[in-house]
Amino acid sequence: MTSCRGRSNLTHHFLGVGCDHIVCVQRRGRTRSPGLPQSIVWASASKVEPVLNLLPCSDTVSALPGTAWLDEVLHWVPEGVDPWIWLAPDSDDAPAMVGWGVTRRFTASGHGAVESAWRRMASEGQDLFAFGSFPFSRTQEGFLVVPQVLIRRRHLGGPTEVTNHQRLTRRTWGPEPKKHLTRRPAIDEATWTASVTAVTQQLDHDGQLEKVVLAGAVDITSEVPIDRSQVASRLAARFPGCWTYSHDGLVGATPELLVDCRDGLFRCRVLAGTRKPAWAHELLDNPKERHEHELAVASVTGRLAQAGLTDPVIRGPFRLELPNVVHLATDVTARVNGSNAARIVDAMHPTAAVCGTPREASYKLIAQIEHLDRGRFAGPVGWMSSDGSGQWALALRCGQFSEDSRQVRMFAGAGILPTSDPAKEWIEVGAKMEAFGDALPNGQVSGTETT
C-alpha cells in the first residue's frame, strides 16, 4: 500500500515497473485526519519487469577487462551482502553479472529440471536474467534465481546496467585479514585407493563400462567467516580464461563450458585428460589420456540431435594450459534449431567428463561406490535469460560454503579407466584442488594435506 498526492504520476510509475492491477481510492470529505493520506493506491504485479538504470561509473567500468570489471562492481555491493556472480572469459563477449537478493526462485529436480525451472521463469516476464545452479544428482533440487538487484554488462565494452535499485553507494575496503584455516580430507587416501580399485575391477569385468569419474573433497574450517566474493575475485584474477561463479555458497572458476547458447549458435568446451605443467608433453601422446578424452567428446557429440543441434564443427584435441594444470580440450560448435539453453543442458548433463561412459551405468556405480555427497559439484552452473539464451559451465574447481561461511568443502574429480593408478589419480585430484585452495585468504593452515 502506498500513499500518493499525484495519482497520475504514481500510476505511471507502477505501470513502468510491471504492475498490472492498480486501484486508487480517494478519501471522501475535505477534512484530513492526522497521519492519514488523502489517497491510497494498491498495486500488484503478475509479471516481473526489470527497471534499468546505468551504474554511476558505467562509462569508465564498461571498457574494463572482465576481472577488473568484477573488482570494481563488487565495490557497489552493499556491506554484509553475499552477491551472485557470473564472469566469462573476455574472449566469450558474454554477459558479466553481479546481483543480490531474490525476486523469484524457481526450483526443480529430476530429468528435465533446468528446462522445467526456466519455463516457469520465462512466464514471469521479459528480459529477465536468472542465476542458476543444479546438483550432480537428479534426486536433489536445483534452482534459477532472479535477483532483486542485477548489475550487468551484456558484452565487453557495453554499458553497465543496474536493475531495480534506489541508490547504490561505492564502498572501499582494506586487505582481508589473515585467518587460521584447518584442512582435513573428507575422503582419506586409503578410502580413495579402495574406491578406485573397486572401479577398475568393475571396469575389467563389465563389457560395456568404459570410464567412471570419482570425486574427492577436502574440508576447510576458518575461525571467522570467509568473504566468498573475494574468493571469487581472486579466482577470476588467476584464471581469466575460466568461467567464474558464486551461486548461493558455491564458488569456483571452471575451465569446462557445458552450454553457450546465444544468437542461434551453440558452443561447448570438453575437457578430459590432465597433467601437471611439468608433464604436459605427455598428454597428446598418452593412450590412456587420449581415450579418456575421446569418451568425453563422444558423450557430447552423441547428444547433439537430442538437444536440437545441427551442423556440428569439432576442433581438437588441443592442450589447454592453466596455471596449475594442463588439460586436453576440444571445442564443439553447432547450430540451434528450435531449442534453448535449458533444454540443451538437460540433454548434455552429466557428460562423461564428470560421470563416465555409458552414462547411466556410470551414474549408478558412482552412487554405490563414492563416499561423499557431491551436492552441486560437477553440476550445471550459469545463467538463463527469459528468451532462452544462456551460458552454463560444469561446477568444477570449486568449494561449497556453509551458511555462516566458516566452512567450505573443496571438490575435484578424476576419470578412472581400467589402467588407472590410484596414487596418480590422488595426485591429480590434489593438483586440481590447488586452484580453489590458493584463492582462500592467506593465513596459517594446519591439518592433513591431500598431496
In this predicted structure, what is the pLDDT of residue 8? 43
DSSP-derived secondary structure for 385-420: ETTS-EEEEE--SEEEE-TTSSEEEEEEEEEE-TT-
Alpha-helix residue ranges (DSSP H) falling in 214-286? 228-238
Task: Calculate Rg over the CA atoms of the chain.
Answer: 24
Between vectors from CA 314 to CA 309 and to CA 317, what angle results, nearest 5°? 140
Q: Classify 226 as helix, strand or coil.
A: coil
- Domain residue ranges of the chain, discontinuous segments joined by +: 2-44, 181-225+264-376+402-447
Q: What is the pTM of this model?
A: 0.86
Domain 181-225+264-376+402-447, CATH class in plain words: alpha beta
Question: What's residue 179's pLDDT?
Answer: 80
- Give the C-alpha separation, 317 to 286, whole Å: 13
The pLDDT score that the predictor gives to residue 60 is 82
Predicted local distance difference test score (pLDDT) of residue 44: 40
Per-residue pLDDT at 451: 37
Q: What is the grid cell recorded at 245?
A: 561463479
Q: Are 213 and 356 in contact (CB under 8 A)?
A: yes
Strand order in the sheet with 2-3: 2-3, 39-44, 21-26
DSSP alpha helix (H) spans, 226-323: 228-238, 287-301
Residue 115 corresponds to which cell in the numbers above? 528446462
Residues 260-315: pLDDT tens digits? 999 999 999 999 988 888 888 888 889 999 999 999 999 999 999 999 999 999 99
Contacts of 3 (CB under 8 A, 6+ apart): 37, 38, 39, 40, 41
Q: Residue for cell digits 550459469?
A: 382
What 3-state DSSP class applies to 261?
strand
Our CA angle for 231, 234, 236, nearest 5°, is 110
Distance CA 71, CA 83 (A): 13
The sign of the torsion formed by the CA atoms of 249, 251, 256, 261 equals: positive
pLDDT in tens, the chain (451 residues): 333 334 444 444 333 334 444 344 444 444 444 443 443 333 344 455 666 688 877 778 888 999 999 999 999 999 989 999 999 999 998 999 999 999 999 999 999 999 999 999 999 988 899 999 999 999 999 999 999 999 999 988 899 999 877 678 888 877 777 788 999 999 999 999 999 999 999 999 988 899 999 999 999 999 999 999 999 999 999 999 999 999 999 999 999 999 999 999 999 999 998 888 888 888 888 999 999 999 999 999 999 999 999 999 999 999 999 998 899 999 999 999 999 999 999 999 999 999 999 999 999 999 999 989 999 999 999 999 999 999 999 999 999 999 999 999 999 999 999 999 999 999 999 999 999 999 998 744 455 544 3
Provide the pLDDT for residue 106. 98
The predicted pLDDT at position 37 comes to 41
